[in-house]
């Protein structure tokens, strides 16, 4: 009887507003996508990808709702994380800037850990969280942050910032940065819409309130 009750509890678990998918009860398409995420390089990352039952944390659980879209989306994310020419520090500054602009607790929680592994210091993380450049950022890193914030909040770059970004980053890396911002903005939208919770014991960073509108 206890085993049956445990199974019912797992199958009825919710993750914010949507079911928390039990990996033992997935369709074939969901299982294929689950395996892509749970056995790929993300699984070796510094933040928790699954709970003790194997259920996906963060935005990845929502991707299982519609694997035909969730699959290409997660592969885009994998390309951004592991196949671009963006230096690790640039990439994490950009992701954390999206998290701050969108007040996305899960994105900050996950990529604060990744950012530390990429070499961001506690002082640099604190500056980013407060909406400022760190004194130790070089010109390219300041440009990455400025471009990301403009892309999120203004939905583009004016001529001066575009010229600055193209000179500091190069056209190919600027393109990769634009796609990165779009991807993580999409994740922030999914996390907010489905009210995806943080793992147990992880405190929210931004609390309640609308996304930042200040530049």
Place of tokens 């996305």: 104
Q: Enumerate residues 6+ apart whose C-beta is below 8 A from 161.
A: 146, 147, 150
pLDDT of 122-181, one tens digit each? 999 999 999 999 999 999 999 999 999 999 999 999 999 999 999 999 999 999 999 999
Band of pLDDT at residue 48, cut at 50, 70 and 90: confident
What's the mean pLDDT when you consider all of the chain? 89
Instruction: Give the least confident one: 33-37, 201-205, 210-214.
Output: 210-214
Structure tokens given for 68: 């035909």
SS3 call for 56: strand
pLDDT of 90-109, one tens digit each? 999 999 999 999 999 999 99
Ramachandran angles phi, psi of 18, nearest 5°: -125, 165
The pLDDT score that the predictor gives to residue 210 is: 44
What's the rounded Cα separation, in Å, for the pair 198 and 215? 27
Q: Enumerate residues 6+ apart whose C-beta is below 8 A from 213.
A: 153
- The pTM of the full predicted model, rounded to 2 decimals, is 0.88
Distances (CA, A) of 49 to 34, 37, 42, 53, 146: 11, 9, 7, 11, 30
pLDDT of 190-199, one tens digit each? 999 999 999 9
Cβ-contact 202, 109 below 8 angstroms: yes
């Amino acid at each position: 009887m206890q085993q049956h009750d445990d199974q019912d509890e797992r199958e009825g678990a919710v993750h914010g507003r949507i079911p928390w998918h039990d990996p033992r009860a997935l369709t074939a398409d969901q299982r294929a996508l689950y395996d892509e995420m749970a056995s790929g390089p993300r699984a070796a990352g510094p933040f928790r990808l699954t709970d003790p039952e194997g259920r996906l944390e963060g935005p990845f659980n929502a991707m299982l709702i519609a694997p035909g879209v969730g699959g290409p989306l997660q592969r885009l994310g994998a390309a951004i994380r592991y196949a671009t020419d963006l230096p690790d520090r640039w990439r994490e500054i950009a992701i954390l800037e999206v998290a701050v602009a969108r007040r996305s607790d899960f994105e900050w929680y996950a990529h604060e850990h990744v950012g530390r592994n990429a070499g961001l210091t506690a002082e640099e993380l604190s500056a980013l969280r407060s909406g400022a450049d760190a004194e130790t950022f070089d010109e390219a890193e300041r440009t990455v942050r400025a471009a990301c914030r403009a892309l999120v909040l203004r939905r583009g770059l004016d001529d001066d910032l575009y010229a600055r970004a193209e000179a500091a980053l190069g056209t190919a890396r600027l393109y990769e940065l634009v796609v990165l911002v779009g991807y993580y903005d999409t994740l922030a939208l999914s996390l907010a819409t489905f009210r995806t919770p943080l793992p147990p014991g992880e405190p929210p960073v931004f609390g309640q309130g609308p996304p930042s509108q200040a530049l």
